[in-house]
Amino acid sequence: MQISIALIVLVLSLIVFSIFYRGLPSLTWEMVSQTPKGGYYFGKEGGVLNAIIGSLYLAFGATILALVMGLPVAMLMNIHLRKFKKLVNGVRFLLDLLWGVPSIVYGAFGFSVMIFFGVKTSLLAGIITVSLFILPIMIRAIDEVVRNVPVGLLEASMSLGSNKSQTAFMVYVRQCSSAIVTAIMISFGRAIGDAASVLFTTGYTDSIPTSVMQPSATLPLSIFFQLSSPIQEVQNRAYASAAILTIIILIISVLSRVISNKYNKNKIS
C-alpha cells in the first residue's frame, strides 16, 4: 500500500522532471519573446509568444465570462432559492453531469453552432466555448462552500434591512472570497490547458490577435503542432513550450494555495 502512494508521488515528479529535462535546455529568451518568423516550423528563428499571449487572452476571457455567469448562479442557488431544496439539488445534479462532458464534445458543439451562424474561427468563439466548458466547474466549486455558510449570516444581514442580492454580493462574497479565488484558479488552469475544445473554435495563427474576432494560437495546440514535425529542432521547441505551460500551471497551483490561505484569515466560522 505504501508502494501505491510512492508510485503516485513518483509519477508526478517523473512527469515534471521529464518535461523540464527535455524542455529547459531549448528554452531560450527568444522562445518567450518572439512570434514565429518565416520558416519557424522548419527550424528557423522565432518563438511562441503568439501562443502564450493567445492562451492568456483565451483563459482570462473565458474565466471572467464564467465568473460573471457562475457567481450569480451559485449565489442564487443558495440564497434566493434556499427554500426550494429539490430544485437546487436538481441543478447541482445537472451541473455534475455537465462537468463530466468531455471538452471535445463542447468543441464539436461550438463548431457546429459556428457553422450554423457562418462565423469563422476566432478568439471570441474560443472564449465562449471554453467558458461554457469551465462554467460547471466554477459554479460547483463556489457552491460547495457557499452552501456551508451558517444561516445566521443570512439572517443577520436580512434583519439589518439588506435585500437578498445585497446579502449575496456584499456579505456572502466576502465570506467566501477564498473559495471564489480557488474556483477562479481551478477554472483558469482548466481553460489554459485545454486543447480539444479550442482545436475547432479558436483556429491557429502566427500573429498575436489584435481583436476578438481574429483567430488565435494557443499553447497546447502550439505544442501539439510542433511535436508532429519531423525536424528535431522544432520538436525540442515543443518540449520547451510544454515546459512553459507546466511552469504556468505550477505557478497557478502555488498561487491559489497562497491566496486562499491569506483570505481564510478574515472569515467567520
Q: Does 165 bind other proteins (CB under 8 A)?
A: yes
Q: Which of 169/263 has CB closer to other proteins?
A: 169
Q: Does 263 bind other proteins (CB under 8 A)?
A: no
For other proteins, which residue of 105, 160, 231, 258 counts as binding (CB under 8 A)? 105
How many positions of this chain bind other proteins (CB under 8 A)? 75
| Whole-angstrom distance, CA of residue 161 vs CA of residue 156 | 9
Q: Does 104 bind other proteins (CB under 8 A)?
A: yes
Q: Which of 37/231 has CB closer to other proteins?
A: 231
Q: Which stretch binds other proteins (CB under 8 A): 27-35, 148-156, 184-192, 209-217?
A: 184-192
Q: Does 32 bind other proteins (CB under 8 A)?
A: no
Structural contact between residues 183 and 74, judged by C-beta atoms closer than 8 angstroms:
no
Q: Which of 37/254 has CB closer to other proteins?
A: 254
For other proteins, which residue of 114, 123, 125, 186 counts as binding (CB under 8 A)? 186
Query: Which backbone phi and psi does 48 adopt, to 5 degrees?
Result: -115, 30
> What type of residue sits at position 14?
L
**At what angle are helices 103-117 and 123-146 packed, to 10 degrees?**
130
In whole angstroms, how close is the CB of 126 to other proteins at the nearest point? Answer: 14
> What type of residue sits at position 100?
G
Q: Could you say which residues in the range 116-145 bind other proteins, by CB under 8 A?
A: 132, 135-136, 139
- Please tell me what DSSP assigns to residue 119: P
| Whole-angstrom distance, CA of residue 200 vs CA of residue 121 | 7
- 3-class SS of residue 269: coil
| Whole-angstrom distance, CA of residue 198 vs CA of residue 188 | 14
* C-alpha dihedral (253, 248, 126, 203), degrees to nearest 10: -150
Q: Which of 123/128 has CB closer to other proteins?
A: 128
Binding mask 62-101 for other proteins (x = CB under 8 A): -------x--xx-xxx--x----------x-xxxxxx-xx
